[in-house]
Amino acid sequence: MTGLKLRNVRKSYGAAEVIKGVDLDISPGEFVVFVGPSGCGKSTLLRMIAGLEEISGGDLFIGDNRMNDVDPAQRGIAMVFQSYALYPHMTVRENMGFALRFAKKPKDEIARAVNEAARILELGPLLDRRPKDLSGGQRQRVAIGRAIVRQPDVFLFDEPLSNLDAELRVHMRIEVARLHKELATTIIYVTHDQVEAMTLADKIVVMRAGVVEQVGAPLTLYDDPNNLFVAGFIGSPKMNFLAGVVEQDRVRLPEFGNQSIPLGHLANPPAQGSEVTVGIRPEAFKRGGAAGLELTIEIVEHLGNESFAYARQSGGQMLTLATEDGRGLQPGQRIEARFDPAHVMLFDTSGQRIR
Amino acid sequence: MSRVFAQARSGLVYAGLSLAAFVSIFPFFWMLVGTTNTAPDIIKGKITFGSALFDNITNLFAQVDMVQVFWNSTFLAIVGTVLTLAISSLAGYAFEMFPSKTRERVFAVLLLTLSIPFAAIMVPLFVMMAKLTLINTFTAILLPSIASVFIIFYFRQATKAFPHELRDAAKIDGLKEWQIFLYIYLPVMRSTYAAAIIIVFMANWNNYLWPLIVLQTNENKTLTLVVSSLASSYYPDYGVVMVATVLATLPTIIVFFLLQRRFVEGLTGSVK
Ligand SMILES: Nc1ncnc2c1ncn2[C@@H]1O[C@H](COP(=O)(O)OP(=O)(O)O)[C@@H](O)[C@H]1O
Ligand SMILES: [Mg+2]
């Protein structure tokens, strides 16, 4: 098993810097997910690891070897593309065996590798078909199979599930997770979908505009985000952000009729009078919390297992509340939304977390 | 009411199409009939089959070294097509896969040259060939046609539909650029190539003006030159001319029918 090290890795297209110095350590066998909004540089970073884009600055180590200038085929990686990128003129079998055939491996070894991959992914009946005769999900499995056959040290996935419908996406997500269990190989997986990131990753790398915002285990990012961006990106529905002003151990909320909530226990509390952003997750509102906000419900959505209520105070900012016992909620209803002050997060004006 | 109208409309459409079909098919029919008639009959406008086919064929082969002429045309058309496709598809691939500001400018200049008629560069080209002492050689025919701007443009456009991720996948599978071109691009783009083969082969086979100027001795003449010289003699034997014309038409028809399906695919976008 092989780990990776990125040291101040940069990429520029002409004058435009797209990757602005990324430092990252990936342990052997780890499942790492790059997540971030579209255009933030996830694919570019992945393609730099693959050797498909030149690295403008910094060092890339795969295992113990500096790989900046090594051929893609020599890096011990295999990649699965969003468009699957199966060779249309070859059968599934030929597609999967192509790299080995090209490397002049003996025929029986190729056959064994292809059959083994076909077994893992249940592709047996499809081996003699061409890509155009396969469904999207099947193509994706073949693309993964092609990667497996090469027995890489590191798997690279670039939004592999984005072209599938919702149901198939969930199914394939589980397949990928199972695959990682079975092969125990290092995987780097790019997605813009935070649910995919949360469910698959050992470690999530949240990126924005070519910069790594935070690296951590999924629940760490959920419970303890470093900044507004990560707090807003991880979690669905999105965290509520309320403008506030610090006044005597409490935060006054001008948008909510100047109600205030307790500041909570902070190692470095903000100065009196400073402006802060208060973050409360929709699911943090629970009966019996020690703090509360008086709100009027405007819209209610029932999903069956849980309900979302959109509430505010007299024309102010709208809050999202998620609750499992919200079937009785009605639009127009006045409520006292209770929550545990320990679950409130504070961010300073630059978006950094106040701890 | 509207049904009558629709019927009248489709009647008109069919009448129009029939007329167009007649106009395009009748000359072929006349050509075939002509091969079986004597020159006087043809001039009289006889459009039924006659019995002079054998005489016409014998006369043609007596007047012209048809084997040599046919070989000349075939050689030029096939070698020209292969070279043109090889060079121009490589160029189209490169323009699309390795874009840069400079290359875009070069490409724009290339496109501009499309608007220069051949007649305008004929004389300088001839002088150039003369200086290279290539007059009356096949090289003089092949050389100027190999880098076809139109075919480069055609391949560049077609390459836009070639998925770039295929190239990336091939790189990861260990292929060098030329191997990607040969083992991935070429087979994936075969419809594009088929359409280009038809276009280039026909253009080469029917090429007239430039061979007329450059090829000067009889043993180098091509079929188009022979047909035209037969037809423009003082007393043209139209039966013989028609036999030569049929021979001149056959190869393009064969090539077209062999590649017809791919031709249509190639023009409508080949990557699937
Ligand atoms: N070849 C290129 N030339 C110039 N800019 C590029 C090129 N490829 C990508 N970019 C830019 O790099 C940024 C990151 O792109 P990408 O890595 O594809 O984002 P993501 O995968 O996160 O959606 C984008 O702003 C994109 O416009
Ligand atoms: Mg991307």
**Tokens encoding A241:** 């952000």
- Pair A10, A55: CB distance under 8 Å: yes
pLDDT over threshold 80, residue A241: yes
Q: In this structure, what are the phi and psi dihedrals at residue A142, rounded to the nearest 5 degrees? A: -65, -40
d(CA A37, CA A236): 15
What does the pLDDT average to over B118-142?
93
A166, A190, A224: which is the final residue of a domain?
A224
Pick from A185-189, A263-267, B154-158: least confident: A263-267
**Tokens encoding A5:** 């090290």
Could you say which of A79, A88, A132 has the minimum Cβ distance to residue B172? A79
- The CATH number given to whatever domain includes residue A32 is 3.40.50.300
What does the pLDDT average to over A48-53?
96
DSSP state of B182: I
Q: Which of A18, A20, A38, A54 to mutate to test the pocket of ligand 1 (most atoms within 8 A of CB)?
A: A18
The reply to whether A259 and A298 lie within a common domain is yes
Give the confidence band of A57 by pLDDT, cuts at 50, 70, 90.
Answer: very high
Give the confidence band of A279 by pLDDT, cuts at 50, 70, 90.
Answer: very high
The reply to whether A176 and A247 lie within a common domain is no
pLDDT over threshold 80, residue B267: no
What is the number of residues in chain A?
355
What does the pLDDT average to over B65-91?
94
Total number of domains in chain A:
2
Residue B19: inside a domain: no
The pLDDT of residue B1 is 60
Burial B21-49 (b: 16+ CB within 10 A, else e): eeeeeeeeeeeebbbbbbbebbeeeeeee
What does the pLDDT average to over A252-268?
88
CB of B176 within 8 Å of a chain A CB? The answer is no
A14 Cβ closer than 6 Å to some ligand 1 atom: no
Is ipTM over 0.90? no
The pLDDT of residue B40 is 85
Give the residue numbers spanning the domain of B136. Answer: 54-268
Give the residue numbers spanning the domain of A291. Answer: 240-354
Distance, CA A82 to ligand 2 centroid (Å)? 8
**Tokens encoding B125:** 């080209």
DSSP state of B185: I
A-chain CB neighbours of B272 within 8 Å are: 88, 132
The reply to whether A251 and A214 lie within a common domain is no
Residue A234: inside a domain: no
A224, A259, A279: which is the final residue of a domain?
A224
**Mean pLDDT of the residues in chain A:** 93
Give the confidence band of B45 by pLDDT, cuts at 50, 70, 90.
Answer: confident
Q: Identify the closest residue of chain B to A96 by CA–CA distance.
A: B173
Percent of chain A with pLDDT over 70: 100
Give the confidence band of A266 by pLDDT, cuts at 50, 70, 90.
Answer: confident
Distance, CA A159 to ligand 2 centroid (Å)? 7
pLDDT over threshold 60, residue A66: yes
**Tokens encoding A331:** 């639009």
The reply to whether A210 and A109 lie within a common domain is yes
The reply to whether A210 and A277 lie within a common domain is no
For A128: left if phi > 0, alpha if psi spans -120 to 50, otherwise beta; the answer is alpha
**Tokens encoding B38:** 């004597």
Sorted by sequence, the CB contacts under 8 Å of residue A72 that are 6+ apart come out as A50, A51, A52, B171, B172
A224, A253, A277: which is the final residue of a domain?
A224
A191 Cβ closer than 6 Å to some ligand 1 atom: no
The pLDDT of residue B269 is 59
A159 CA: nearest ligand 1 atom:
21
- The CATH number given to whatever domain includes residue B65 is 1.10.3720.10
d(CA B12, CA A349): 75
A210 CA: nearest ligand 1 atom:
14
The reply to whether A271 and A135 lie within a common domain is no
The reply to whether A316 and A209 lie within a common domain is no
d(CA B107, CA B92): 10
Q: Which is nearest to A21 in space by CA: A32, A35, A10? A: A10
Q: Decide: helix, strand or coil at residue A36.
A: coil
Residue B120: inside a domain: yes
Q: In this structure, what are the phi and psi dihedrals at residue A190, rounded to the nearest 5 degrees? A: -100, 135
Strands of the sheet containing A154-158, edge to edge, are A77-80, A154-158, A186-191, A31-35, A203-208, A211-216
Residue B26: inside a domain: no
Residue B182: inside a domain: yes
Q: Which is nearest to B51 in space by CA: B64, B36, B66, B62? A: B36
Total number of domains in chain B:
1
* B89, B95, B97, B99 alpha-carbon torsion, rounded to 10°: 180
Q: In this structure, what are the phi and psi dihedrals at residue B49, rounded to the nearest 5 degrees? A: -65, 140
pLDDT over threshold 80, residue A273: yes
CB of B165 within 8 Å of a chain A CB? The answer is yes
Residue B255: inside a domain: yes
Residue A229: inside a domain: no
d(CA A152, CA A1): 9
Greater model confidence, B123 or B265: B123
**Which ligand lies nearest to the CA atom of residue A52 in the structure?**
1
pLDDT over threshold 60, residue B219: yes
The reply to whether A23 and A128 lie within a common domain is yes
Q: Which is nearest to B221 in space by CA: B244, B199, B202? A: B244
- The CATH number given to whatever domain includes residue A346 is 2.40.50.140
Distance, CA A13 to ligand 1 centroid (Å)? 9
Residue B48: inside a domain: no
CB of B272 within 8 Å of a chain A CB? The answer is yes
Greater model confidence, B263 or A254: A254
Helix (H) or strand (E) holding A242: strand A240-247
Residue A235: inside a domain: no
Residue B23: inside a domain: no
pLDDT over threshold 80, residue A258: yes
Helix, strand, coil percentages for chain A (3-state, nearest 5): 30, 35, 35
Residue A231: inside a domain: no
The reply to whether A67 and A212 lie within a common domain is yes
Pick from A79-93, A178-192, A203-217, B228-242: least confident: B228-242
d(CA B119, CA B19): 34
The reply to whether A214 and A291 lie within a common domain is no
Percent of chain B with pLDDT over 70: 98
> Do the Cβ atoms of A85 and B169 come within 8 Å?
yes
Q: Identify the closest residue of chain A to B188 by CA–CA distance.
A: A89
The pLDDT of residue B182 is 96
Pick from A342-351, B108-117, B153-162, B230-239: least confident: B230-239
> Do the Cβ atoms of B272 and A88 come within 8 Å?
yes
The pLDDT of residue B260 is 82
Q: Which is nearest to B140 in space by CA: B154, B121, B126? A: B126
**Tokens encoding B238:** 């139209």
**Tokens encoding A167:** 């149901």
Residue B17: inside a domain: no
Interface test with B, best of A44, A47, A80, A89 (most B CBs within 10 A): A89
Residue A29: inside a domain: yes
The pLDDT of residue A253 is 92
The reply to whether A258 and A282 lie within a common domain is yes
The pLDDT of residue B184 is 95
The reply to whether A160 and A45 lie within a common domain is yes
